[in-house]
Each structure stands twice: as C-alpha cells, then as structure tokens.
Chain A
Amino acid sequence: MADAAAAAAVPGDAPGGTTVLDSLGEDITRIVYPVSACMLLVVLLVSLLSSPSSPSPLSASIAAATGGVSGGGDDDIPTALITALTFVVAVTAATFLLALLFYLRCTPCLRAYLGFSALAVLLVLGGQVALLLLSRLRFPLDAVSFALLLPNAAGALALAALAPASVPIALHQAALVAIAVLTAFWFTLLPEWTTWALLVAMAIYDLAAVLLPGGPLRVLLELAIQRNEEIPALVYEARPVDPRHGRNWRLWREGRQPGADLDDSSTVEVIGEVLGRNLQANSGNSSSSQVHEAATLAGDVSNSRPRVTLVAALSSSDSTVAQVGEVSALQEHRVAVAEMSVPLIQPRPQRSGEEVVEDEDGIGLSSSGAIKLGLGDFIFYSVLVGRAAMYDYMTVYACYLAIIAGLGITLLLLAFFRKALPALPVSIALGIVFYVLTRTLLEEFVVQCSTKLLMF
C-alpha cells in the first residue's frame, strides 16, 4: 500500500497516468467558449454591417485613403443618461411583474411570453439582420425562398431554445447563442453614449437586483427556492456537448464520502475544496432520502449532489426540462437556482417599442453542478465588445480579455460564496476600464512603435 501510494505520488511521465491537470477547469472553458463565440459573431456582424460612429484615427485615415465614408452623429450625455435610466426603470417594473406572475403560479403565461419573445427576436431581428447581410454581401436570394426559409429557421431555433429536452444539446445551445447575438447586435446600433450609459446602468441594476433584499431578481429567486420550482426562462447551461467523455455524464450518487469522489473537472468544487469550504459540508452530510430523479435529456439521468433535491416536472403538459434545485436543510451551499428573468425593451423612441425579449441575468450552479449563465449576460458582454469593435480592433482584444477575466473572477466568487451572483458588474467594470485605458494610453503607444517596426 505504501509503495503503491509512493509510486503514485512520484511525478512520472508515464503515458497512461492521468493527473489533475487533465480535466481541471473544464467547466470554466465550457462557459468561456460559448461566450467567446457569441462575442466573435457580434464583432463580425458589427464589422460587416455597421459604419463606425467614432472611428479611431487609424481606421479613419485608412478609410479616408480608400475613399470610404466615416459615420458621424454625436449624442450627448444627458440624453444618454435619461434613456439608460428609463430602460432600467422599465426592466425593474417588468421583473416585478414577472415575479408577480410567478407568485400567482401563472406558469402558462410565462411560458407563452417566453416563447413569443424568442420567436419575435429570431423572426424580426433575425430577418432584418439577414436582409442587411444579404444586401451587404450581395448574395443572390429571391424573396420567395427567403419568405420560406426565414419563418422555418426562426421557428426551429425558437423551439430548440425553449425545449431542450427534445433537441440535441448542441442545437439548443446554438439557438440560445443565436438569440443572444441578434439582441446584442441590435443594442450596438444605439448611439455611443447611450450604449455606455446603458451598460453601466444595467451593471448597477444587476448588482442591486440580485444582492439587495428587496431586489426583484432576489425576490424571484427566493420564491423559486421556497417553492422548489424553476422559473421558466432562457438560461445557458454549460453541459457537456461531447458525449464521448463518459465521466462527464455524472450519475447520481447515494451518499458521499468526504473527498472520495470529488469531481476534479468541476473547477468550482476544486476551488471550494482548496478553500476548505467542503469540510463542514462533508461532516454534516444527510441521507439522500430527499433526492429523486428527473429526466433531463432523452434518457439521461441528471446528477444531483446529495445536498440537492430534485422534484419532478413542472407541468405535465409540456415536455420541457423541469429540474429543480433545493438546498437541503443541513447545508447552505450549493444553491442550485440562478435563473432570473430580465425582459429587455428597446429604448429607441422612434421604434414602436413592441419587442420584449425575455432573458436572464446572473450566474449560478445548476443542480448537476454545471455552471449556468443567463442570456442577458451574454448579450451585454457582446454589446460591450461590439461597441469596442466600432472603434478599433485593439479595443476589441483588450475588452475581450477584460470580460473573460471578469467572468473568471465572478466564478471564483461563486465558488467562494456558493450562491447566485450577478455576472455583469465585474466584467462590465473591467471592460469599461480596459476600453478607456486602451483608447487613451495603449493605442498611441502601440501604433507609434509598430508603425516603425519596433517591437519588443
């Protein structure tokens, strides 16, 4: 026994041996990849379709040299602040309304609302983006085919986004990312100061709504926990996309020996373990009599840690997923609910303001331990990066790194505090700081050096 342990402890490069490094951090990368993909798509759309509002000197000079036209039009700060404030007030009101509906157990209303908004985004916004792309790329497509393809695609994607149990998970995740991309692209069309004011306002709102005791999202969350129900909303859950890795489909366990089957692919657990949080939990582990199974995907058994309770489906009529998390009486960590709904209303006064998209904010852990990130976070991250793309690509790279760093910090905090946290404030704050620093300090310096071919 001793020498086996010693042999295992010697750092060897035996080809068959797996070390901790093999799967550590997998769940973080499974969130980072979709967020990066969403941001990349928005940057591509912005660079193809929008004319920059205030281009950087470099882009402006290049555009002037090749005969392009740089866009103009400035908006002032007071208007921006008023618009942002109106938007936040509208969002707060809508979230309270949602909380009220949830309280009155009006679930069909909520689901219908969700379906309608997803379909509206995909059909109307998606259609307009498609038309813009077609005209920009001069792609030959006739009106009849377009009229046939668009509603079909929109309907299929909306269904995929809303009913994850009936479609392959990759399609479900792709549909969610598509909705986020389209909404984010629309937000980047706002004037510049309005966009920044909106981002700051939403970050502050997110912070207040999730953490303050009277905040709408917190109210919603507590209702959901009390009732063991899931709020029907659009949330991205980082499940494994690749079914090859058998150990990622976690089977549900009866009890848990301390430290024995810690899943080292869950970074949140690792961090918690390292910080010593799991010790209290393991000592007071209750029996798992409260745990039931619930079917999540076709034929899969969803995982539940013994501290989390699952309850069966929300309503028998729909076939959608209804996993539920509940904190068991003895432990307080592993709160498994992070879904909140934040309807977004288009703030542009010229538009008729008819579209309301329902999505979510906040980051948390699902009952299977995978990280969940609300679609609202995807949207606002991409709005920041898209707006940075309208200036110059250097700001895009800097803001991308800042947002990913903010996401990492939020995940660390999540592992530390073990409850639902707002994902917007840290990333948006870092993103704005890096944008300002890049635009004022970095760009001059780097352009000076690299145009003289001076690098270090």
Chain B
Amino acid sequence: MTLAAGLGYALIALGPAFSLFAGVVARKPFLVLTLLSSTLFWLISLIVLSGIWRGFLPIKSGAWWAYAILILTSVALQEGTRLVFWRLYKKMEEMLDAFADRISKPRLSLTDKMLISLAGGLGHGVAHAVFFCLSLLTPAFGRATFYIETCSKMPFFLASALIALGFLVIHTFSMIIAFNAYDERKKSDQVFVPVIHLAAAVMTLINLAPGGCLIGTPLLLVMAALTLQHCWRVACQRLTEHRHQQHNSN
C-alpha cells in the first residue's frame, strides 16, 4: 500500500498510544522504563507461548477448535503474566517507598500508582499492536494492497489496525482495573479483567468465518469502549474515596 495509507493504518493502530505516551508517560522517566519493561514481559510471554505451540503449527484452516484452544491458552498465559507483573510491581513499590522515606520525600501517591499501572498496560498494548499489526504493515509498502479471503470487503491492513486499536485500549485500561482490584482485593474486578480479555479474544474467532470481520471488528471495539468506561468508573470511585479519606483525616 502507499506510504500515506500505510502511515494512516499505523496511526489508527498506534495513534492513541502515541498521544498517551507523549502526554503522560514521557513526562516521567520512570514511566518510560515501566513501559519498556512491561513490553519486554509481554514479548517474553509471547515467545513462551509460541514455543509451546510451535510443534502444532501450521494449523489446518478448517480446524477452528484448534484456534479456540490456542486462544484459551494464550489468554491464560497472559493473565498469568499480569499477576507476575503485579507481584514485581509490589516489590518495586516497597523499594521506592523505603527510598522515599530515607530521603524524606513523600511516598508514592495514588495517582502515581495509577500512572504506573497505566504505563504497564500501555506497554502490553503497544507490544501487541507492534507485533501483531505493525510488523506485517511495514514490509508491505509498495504497490497494491492485500485482502484475505474471509474478509473480502475490508483491506486486511485496515481490519488488523482496528483490531489492534481495540486490543490496545483493552490492555491499557484493564491493567489499571486489575492493579486496582488486586490492591483493594475486589473479587468482581479481578474476575472482570480476564473475562473481558477472553471475550475479546474469542470474538476474533468470528473473523475466521467468511465475512466475519465485518461483525467481529465493531464488536471488539464495543468491548474496548466497555473496558474504557469501566476503568473510568473504577478510577473515579477510587480517587473520590481517597479524597474523602484525606479530608476526614485532616
């Protein structure tokens, strides 16, 4: 595809990530490092996953149940990675708090913790978009574009960019919800995150059916919007609660 179209697709997939990066993450260097390390984590989990599945590829195109198992295992592994990431984050938080005490500066505030989880989620989302969407986009500059058989109405790159955008939003904001839920030990939110992830991943199975991408992609974006709205609610609730606590203690 032409340079303009390619750039457009890349921006569809990564535009919100760029603005989040420039507006929020780049201001604090620690968040940049968090983003890089969470991207690395996601990559390692993906490599482990592909190591497990390497023996079974290529999957025959008729066997959609094999893809379902693949998706189940992938989502399970990624949620496990999220837990591991949270444990590491807790250790880091302890070290940072100890350091802050030693140099008698204020400890990490609630906004700081939320920013760290945002950067972590953004790392996952960016890694996803880069490996699944961008890596196919960049070699394909030149003449002509690409359509796949099951999705003959939308250019392949557009569909892939939209799905990547949906998943970027889901990864970024579900990390905030998840960290919040682990922190406050709210079971409902702890379950919400894997369920949404699984639902979104299963929804991409619809793309295997002919003409499925016209249904699957908008549904995925609806799920992304749902995640965004839930995260908004959770964050607002937590912040107002916190402010009340502060007022009460002062």
Contact = CB atoms under 8 A, between A and B. Distances in A.
Contact of B50 (A18, A28, A442): A442
A220 B213 CA distance: 63
A453 B53 contact: no
B112 A21 contact: yes
B54 A455 contact: no
Contact of A456 (B43, B74, B115, B148): B74
Interface in B41-74: 43, 46-47, 49-51, 53-54, 57-59, 67, 70-71, 74
A445 interface: yes
B108 interface: yes
B50 A444 contact: yes
Nearest to A438: B47
Interface in A4-37: 5, 7-13, 17-26, 28-30, 32
A2 to B, nearest CB: 13
A143 interface: no
Interface in A388-443: 392-394, 397-398, 401-402, 404-405, 408, 434, 437-438, 440-442
B110 interface: yes
Nearest to B73: A456
A50 B104 CA distance: 55
A446 interface: yes
Majority SS at the chain A contact face = helix
A272 to B, nearest CB: 11
Given A274-B98, A274-B99, A454 B109 contact: no
A28 B33 contact: yes
Interface in B80-119: 95-96, 98-112, 115-116
Contacts of A28: 29, 33
B136 to A, nearest CB: 6
B188 interface: no
Contacts of A437: 47, 51
B53 A401 contact: no
Contact of A24 (B30, B46, B54): B30
A11 B107 contact: yes
Given A10-B249, A397-B130, A445-B50, A29 B32 contact: yes
Interface in A226-271: 259-260, 262, 264, 270
A381 B23 CA distance: 29
A393 B134 contact: yes
B110 A11 contact: yes
Contact of B29 (A10, A17, A29, A58): A29
Contact of A66 (B112, B131, B144): B144
Nearest to B114: A13
A229 B89 CA distance: 43
Given A441-B47, A445-B57, A448-B58, A21 B110 contact: no
Given A394-B131, A456-B74, A19 B29 contact: no
A32 B36 contact: yes
Contact of B143 (A66, A274, A438, A448): A66
A434 B51 CA distance: 12
A183 to B, nearest CB: 25
A313 B197 CA distance: 62
Nearest to B164: A455
A421 to B, nearest CB: 19
A260 B106 CA distance: 14
Contacts of B163: 453, 455
B32 A58 contact: no
A447 interface: yes
Nearest to B49: A445
Majority SS at the chain B contact face = helix
B151 A453 contact: yes
A25 B32 contact: yes
A280 interface: no
Interface stretch (B174-182, B200-208, B225-233): B200-208
A385 B110 CA distance: 38
Contacts of B201: 455-456
Contacts of B243: 13
Contact of A13 (B32, B39, B111, B138): B111
A66 to B, nearest CB: 5
Given A19-B105, A450-B160, A455-B128, A444 B57 contact: yes
Nearest to A275: B95
Contact of B109 (A11, A29, A62): A11
A11 B99 contact: no
Interface in A270-309: 270, 273-274
Contacts of A393: 134-135, 138-139
Interface in B12-35: 28-33
B51 A24 contact: no
B131 A397 contact: yes
A330 to B, nearest CB: 22
B144 A13 contact: no
A448 B216 CA distance: 18
Contacts of A264: 99, 103, 105
B224 interface: no
Nearest to A437: B47
B91 to A, nearest CB: 11
A447 B143 CA distance: 21
A444 B131 CA distance: 12
B2 interface: no
B173 interface: no
A446 B54 CA distance: 11
Contacts of A404: 36, 40
Nearest to A29: B29
Q: Nearest 3 A-B pairs (CB), nearest first?
A: A445-B50, A456-B201, A453-B207
Interface of B: 28-33, 36-37, 39-40, 43, 46-47, 49-51, 53-54, 57-59, 67, 70-71, 74-75, 78, 95-96, 98-112, 115-116, 128, 130-136, 138-140, 142-144, 148, 150-151, 156, 159-160, 163-164, 167, 197, 200-201, 204-205, 207-208, 213, 216, 239, 242-243, 246, 249-250
23 contacts: A7-B250, A8-B106, A11-B109, A12-B109, A19-B107, A20-B103, A21-B28, A23-B29, A24-B28, A25-B29, A32-B33, A274-B98, A438-B47, A440-B54, A445-B57, A449-B132, A452-B150, A453-B150, A453-B208, A454-B205, A455-B163, A455-B201, A456-B197
Given A20-B107, A259-B102, A445-B57, 7 more contacts: A7-B250, A10-B246, A12-B246, A19-B100, A21-B30, A25-B30, A397-B130
